Amino acid sequence: MSLVMTGSEVMQVLDMDLALTAAEDAFRAYGEGRVNMPPKAYLTLAHGDFRAMYGEIFLPADHICGLKWVNVHPGNPARGLLTVMAKILLNDPETGLEFADLDGTHITDFRTGAAGGTAVKYLSRPDASLLGLIGAGAQARTQVAAILKVRPIREVVVFDRHLAHSQAFADYLTATYGIQARAVSNGAEAVREMDLVVTTTPSTTPVVRREWVSPGTHLNAIGADAAGKQELDGAILTGAMVVVDDWAQASHSGEINVPLARGEFTPQQVYGSLGEIVAGKKPGRQTPEEITVFDSTGLIIQDLALGLAVFKRAKERGLGEEKDFLK
């Protein structure tokens, strides 16, 4: 039997605390070599793309494998559709039997936010309180939700290409979290003197310049998730502690992919993976002054760990519909 869950059912059990716990479990498993994870495969289309992500993970009390089929279609909002939509299947590795069929759209949002929150926990200064956002879309929401769980944020500065979007997002943050938030009209204002900077754009040209970044800043580079995408000035990377989620994916489609291809950045300049840091194999931030960067491409093990947590909580609460797809 497979538990089938819609997006609204997933949201009845999904929260950021659950996502952060699952993210740490997934990154720790990665750092300890308890995963089997080929790089994601891309299907490029005229107006977007699909990614097939699949893998296996040994969690403290569970051993599962699974698949996520997820799209990115930037023009979808004009059609009244989400840019990103996903489906997640969970399987028993011993038999191959499917036991969960989940809408993965919200899980994708939350696990990406939780990865950013985990990076901030291990790589930023503990007293980081000023957060700058470049991009004010759906992913920015879960990045902020996760970061607020791990750092004492007192002000958020928002920049988006459309000032109205920036202002709407700032208003949302104040109304939702009761924190000070303001919209600005240029990217430099959202970066200068910030303790934390999060980029969530689909840009193929840098949206953050090196001269804007202060000593001690931590940057989450979230938007670069396909070959040719780049949000950060390459000079930021060469002078920073650069941490990836996975080398194979980051070198092909993460923030480092363009500087690597141009010879502006070398593989040896990557400090390590977030999993190694979470697992205690490498230290995180070592001085208050260093600049740190997390290159997030998104890993199937994050989806599997959070998908399993959602499945277990749904079973406890009697949510979803059991289906036998073999009949």
Which residues are known catalytic residues?
68
Query: How far is residue 164's CA from residue 48's CA, in Å, rounded to a whole number?
Result: 25
Query: How far is residue 169's CA from residue 171's CA, in Å, rounded to a whole number?
Result: 5
Query: How far is residue 134's CA from residue 219's CA, in Å, rounded to a whole number?
Result: 11
Query: How far is residue 119's CA from residue 111's CA, in Å, rounded to a whole number?
Result: 12
Query: How far is residue 134's CA from residue 187's CA, in Å, rounded to a whole number?
Result: 7
DSSP helix/strand/coil, 50: strand
Q: Please tell me the number of Cα atoms within 13 Å of 21 on its side-chain side.
A: 11
Beta strands in 212-290 (DSSP E): 218-221, 241-244, 270-273
Nearest to 146 by CA among 115, 176, 177: 115
Query: How far is residue 289's CA from residue 286's CA, in Å, rounded to a whole number?
Result: 9
Nearest to 25 by CA among 56, 57, 50: 57
Return the C-alpha torsion angle 310, 314, 317, 319, nearest 10: 150
Query: How far is residue 280's CA from residue 116's CA, in Å, rounded to a whole number?
Result: 18
CB 22 within 8 A of CB 107: no
DSSP helix/strand/coil, 187: helix
